[in-house]
A and B are shown apart, each in its own frame.
Chain A
Amino acid sequence: MQNFERISALVDSAGSDADRAALPAICDDPAARQTWARYQLIGDLIRDNVPSSAGVEFAARVAAAITEQKPLLASIVTLAPQPRTRRWSTPATTGFAVAASAAMLGLFVWFSAYMTEPKALATADPSNTEMGAEDRVSSLSEADYKRRINGYLVNFNEQRRASSAPGAPPYVRLVGFDPAGSR
């Protein structure tokens, strides 16, 4: 059984060092915790600060939710502080990011050329003033597409090896394009 006068003083932040030293024991005593909560409630009721939406079960809900969090906090508390690491600066991640960026840039350049060239052809022919999407696709021969994409992939692989970016996934090296094997 706790000394409830001590709890009253701690609620008012007027406790002595000895009162504060008793806090672990108060935390361990369910009756003391309930008394603490009621003393807080009395103050809030006197000041008219109790939202009726709160209900008496709010603190219990929080406590239940926190119980599920317990392993997480325990691991934080017990572990020694770790030096901060920058996740995005690891060699593996950087290598992959460089490779991915190069691939995206290459695709963008290729796609831009692919989309703009038929338009140039179209404007060169005064009789052909409008072009649909299908026309634009068919205005560049299939052989040209294959040659371009194959060239891009070969260049990309060579460039990747030259940069010796660490951490690039192994499967990148397997990417290629074989015109003879196309449909």
Chain B
Amino acid sequence: MGDLTDAALVEQVQKGHRHAFDLLVARYQHRIINLVSRFVRDRDEAMDVAQEVFIKAYRSMAGFRGESAFYTWLYRIAINTAKNHLTAGARRPRETELTYLDGEEVPFSDFQKDFETPEALLQVEQMKAVVLETINSLPSDLKEAIMLREIDGLSYEEIAHAMDCPVGTVRSRIFRAREVIDEQLKPLLER
């Protein structure tokens, strides 16, 4: 298994620690929802399928041997669940498909927007704006560290090399950046 944090969390789940699975859900929920939404266009159905993916994963955790990365395993469950959902749903016509029977090519993003509620869109846009504003207000060393980590996906060692500082300093800078952003984000989530 590639990711040591995932491996440790999986081990905890297999020992019966259910909240360890909550951490895995928090870690991968958006990737799985985005993945499922590529197959299942209806927003509510996509959410149900994504939920089913995590429930299936939880029920199968005892059999997960760590031969692949946890996300690879979860990805396969998501693809199979979404395809099964489509197969089961093929018997009934979908409104979205009927709307575009004239053969016009409609980009997926247009479909997706149709099913996003204005309130949800607004909430996400607000959170995004707050996060980006806060990042722009950070001291340059914190801003650079968090951007190299989150945007470029560099490891702490790579960031340390790029910023010419110890790994421990990188760890500390990234945490401090998150702490500042988190303080701004919390009120939006508590509404």
Contacts and interface: CB of A to CB of B under 8 A. Distances in A.
Contacts of B125: 52
Contact of A42 (B61, B115, B147, B178): B178
A53 interface: yes
A54 B33 contact: yes
B25 A62 contact: yes
B102 interface: no
Interface string A52-79: 1111101101110111011011101110
Interface residues of B, number: 69
Given A12-B156, A13-B3, A77-B62, A65 B31 contact: no
A11 B6 CA distance: 10
A97 B135 CA distance: 69
Contacts, number: 174
A74 B16 CA distance: 6
29 contacts: A8-B171, A8-B175, A11-B27, A13-B3, A14-B171, A24-B12, A33-B19, A33-B23, A36-B26, A38-B186, A41-B127, A41-B185, A42-B131, A42-B150, A45-B131, A47-B151, A50-B124, A52-B116, A52-B117, A53-B115, A53-B117, A55-B120, A56-B189, A59-B25, A63-B22, A65-B51, A65-B54, A66-B18, A73-B59
Q: Closest 10 CB pairs between A and B?
A: A37-B26, A8-B175, A27-B19, A76-B62, A5-B175, A52-B124, A20-B8, A52-B120, A46-B150, A14-B156
Interface of B: 3-6, 8-9, 12, 14-23, 25-27, 29-31, 33-34, 37, 43, 46-47, 50-51, 54-55, 58-59, 61-62, 112, 115-117, 120-121, 123-125, 127-128, 131-132, 135, 146-147, 149-151, 155-156, 171-172, 174-175, 178-179, 181-182, 185-186, 189
Given A15-B5, A33-B26, 7 more contacts: A13-B5, A46-B147, A46-B150, A53-B47, A59-B26, A66-B55, A72-B59
